[in-house]
């Protein structure tokens, strides 16, 4: 049976930022994923990002959108997009391909798997206000919608509901 818990690990090797996800990442992981991205983007010595999803079997649309936004932002400020390891043959492969997420990464299976012991595990200690949380969820879905016309159709109702929710807050 697969581990249902979600784990986010981060680290740095020379000038490469490492993000390793395990288990089932959902909106509950938003703070950890966003914290990882902030640490990466604030470090001016980072030249590459390695995202390892070898042991991650599920990501909801919020997490997919946050990763997409990170990849887009990183590619704008660096010479190449992030590496994505562990996609080939994984449960996430079809959704990454269907949602055009593979266009945002250098998908590779040739990078050595990063040992968890070399990374720091993030815990769920941070919290967002309700409004901040809603803004992050909306932004994630808007990012996915921008990737393809099919995504735009798929997430139109979600985006509309999230915008309405934000107006009430």
pLDDT digits (tens, 9 = 90+) for 39-52: 888 999 999 999 99
Strand partners, 56: 23
In this structure, is residue 149 part of a structural domain? no
Burial class, 157, CB count within 10 angstroms (exposed 0-12 / middle 13-18 / buried 19+):
exposed
In this structure, is residue 36 part of a structural domain? yes
In this structure, is residue 35 part of a structural domain? yes
Domain extent for 20? 7-127
**Contact residues for 49 (Cβ-Cβ < 8 A; gap 6+):** 16, 17, 18, 19, 40, 70, 74, 82, 83
H, E, C per residue of 28-95? HHHHHHHHHHHHHHHCCCCCEEEEEEEEEEEECHHHHHHHHHHHHHHHHHCCCCCEEECCCCCCCHHH
CATH number at residue 52: 3.30.750.24
For the cut 90, the answer to whether the pLDDT of residue 145 exceeds it is yes
For the cut 70, the answer to whether the pLDDT of residue 78 exceeds it is yes
Read off the DSSP letter of residue 104: G
Q: pTM for this structure?
A: 0.87
In this structure, is residue 135 part of a structural domain? no
In this structure, is residue 140 part of a structural domain? no
For the cut 60, the answer to whether the pLDDT of residue 2 exceeds it is no
Q: How many domains does the chain have?
A: 1
In this structure, is residue 78 part of a structural domain? yes
In this structure, is residue 138 part of a structural domain? no
In this structure, is residue 148 part of a structural domain? no
């Amino acid at each position: 049976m697969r581990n249902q818990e979600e784990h986010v690990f981060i680290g740095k090797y020379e000038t490469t930022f490492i993000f390793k996800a395990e288990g089932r990442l959902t909106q509950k992981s938003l703070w950890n994923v966003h914290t990882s991205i902030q640490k990466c983007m604030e470090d001016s010595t980072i030249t590459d990002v390695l995202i390892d999803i070898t042991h991650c079997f599920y990501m909801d649309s919020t997490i997919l959108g946050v990763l997409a936004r990170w990849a887009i932002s990183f590619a704008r400020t660096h010479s190449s997009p992030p590496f994505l390891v562990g996609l080939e043959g994984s449960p996430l492969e079809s959704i990454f391909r269907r949602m055009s997420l593979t266009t945002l990464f250098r998908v590779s299976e040739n990078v050595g798997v990063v040992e968890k012991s070399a990374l720091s595990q993030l815990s769920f200690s941070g919290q967002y206000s309700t409004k901040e949380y809603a803004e992050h969820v909306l932004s994630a879905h808007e990012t996915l919608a921008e990737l393809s016309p099919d995504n735009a159709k798929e997430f139109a109702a979600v985006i509309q509901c999230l915008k309405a929710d934000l107006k009430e807050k």
